[in-house]
Amino acid sequence: MPARHQHYGWLVSPYSAKTRAYLSWKGIPFDDIAPSALRMYFSIRKAVGKVIMPTVRTPGGSWLQDTSDIIDALELEFPSPSTVPPGPRQRLASLLLELHGDEWLPILGMHTRWTIPANEQFARAEFGRYGFPWLPGPLQQRMAKPMADKMASYLPVLGVSAETAPGIEAFGRSLIHQLDTHLSEHPYLMGGRPCLGDLSLFGPLWAHVYRDPGSRHWFDEAPAVEQWFERLLSPDPSQRGQFLPDDDVPDSLTPLFHTLFAEQFPFVEKLVDAIDGYCEAHPGATRVPRSLGNHEFTIGGHTGTRRLITFSQWMAQRPLDLYGSLDSDQRASVDEWLRHIGALEPMQLKISNPFVRREFTMGLRAPAGS
Ligand SMILES: N[C@@H](CCC(=O)N[C@@H](CS)C(=O)NCC(=O)O)C(=O)O
């Protein structure tokens, strides 16, 4: 049994950056382990059913997988200092930004990693170095080629194409600029301490766009974003602040929400429709396929197609469930903010066939049609 929490993830992995930053900021003692390919394909796959990172093994010997589940479980075990804002507006804003970071920013990160030659070269070497540390350099890369090729093959799945590339770049550059404006006023998104939204945006922005050498210059004019990276990479416990008072979601974040609701949310709505259609056609189904065909989407004003990955509904349920659980006073306060950012109507989205994760697999909360 490990004495401390063990975190398995590579530095090139954006989702691992999310959980590593969480563990570090919380001050939870942990061993940060870069799993070799052997460990990934044997012990990790055996424990959680697939080859994936990050995973966490607790001192009690149980395994956690999926960054949201890892953080939710650890937040229950180590409630203080909390990364969950106390007020409903900030909490909802944080979950929406988690949805954005986890399910939309991979379009940006995968674009910069696998279409900029210097980044691809760097990533392939990193995959070899972590996957096969006992082999000599050239052999490492050859052995890691299937893993790297698999990641690169996700580009059309995510919607990265010649048509969307200018939009993805416009989206990425304006996100970095908007964050820089916000972070020159506040240490984190909601004030003096990070929330899930910080961790989820940090993952792909740092592990892909910033750490990969061919796109780091995107941050040349974003010093406040670089300082935010530093704070999340090496948190100073004496600098732990509080969330902003009065449940305030700073207006400097409004442009991020405008983009989220203008471009990501319509795709989430299509996905929910597709899942409902599948459930109607398959009464009694207890699971839904991993993907349900392709659909049009828009990013940075450019349109392409991407796969409807059903997992994203589960991430969308997190803010929608919170919204549905508010009492009337909280609801009034949240609605006032939603109206301000122009998102009151989309947030009324109903999930008729919600998902639940059991034993590391996604299923329907109740059989379809029941
Ligand atoms: N939703 C998952 C995503 C994790 C994920 O996709 N991890 C990537 C590395 S950053 C991976 O292991 N992918 C393996 C694959 O897709 O085959 C989470 O939050 O943990």
Convert the pLDDT of each residue in 54-77 to its tens digit. 999 999 999 999 999 999 999 999
CA of 102 to the centre of ligand 1 (A): 10
CA of 346 to the centre of ligand 1 (A): 28
pTM score, whole prediction: 0.98
CA of 151 to the centre of ligand 1 (A): 10
pLDDT of residue 1: 73
**Token pair listed for 188:** 């984190």
Q: Which amino acid is at 332?
A: A
**Token pair listed for 213:** 């050498």
**Token pair listed for 116:** 């900029």
Please state, in angstroms and rounded to a whole number, the distance separating the CA atoms of residues 287 and 359. Answer: 14
Atom nearest to 66 CA in ligand 1: 20
> At the topology level of CATH, where does 5-77 sit?
Glutaredoxin (3.40.30)
The closest residue, in CA terms, to atom 1 on ligand 1 is 66
Atom nearest to 18 CA in ligand 1: 19
Domain boundaries, the chain: 5-77, 88-251, 253-364
Mean pLDDT of all residues in the chain?
Answer: 97
Instruction: Tell me which residues of the chain have a pLDDT lower than 70.
Output: none
Q: Write 257-260 long-range contacts (CB < 8 A, 24+).
A: 257/93, 257/96, 257/341, 257/343, 258/341, 258/342, 259/171, 259/174, 259/175, 260/96, 260/97, 260/99, 260/100, 260/104
**Token pair listed for 127:** 């995959």
pLDDT of residue 2: 82
* pLDDT tens per residue, range 184-237: 999 999 999 999 999 999 999 999 999 999 999 999 999 999 999 999 999 999
Measured at the CA of 337, the angle between CA 334 and CA 342, to 5 degrees, comes to: 120
The closest residue, in CA terms, to atom 10 on ligand 1 is 13
Domain 88-251 indexed as CATH 1.20.1050.10? yes
pLDDT of residue 186: 98
**Ligand 1 binding residues, C-beta < 6 A:** 13-15, 51-53, 66-68, 102, 150
pLDDT of residue 137: 87
The closest residue, in CA terms, to atom 13 on ligand 1 is 52
pLDDT of residue 328: 98
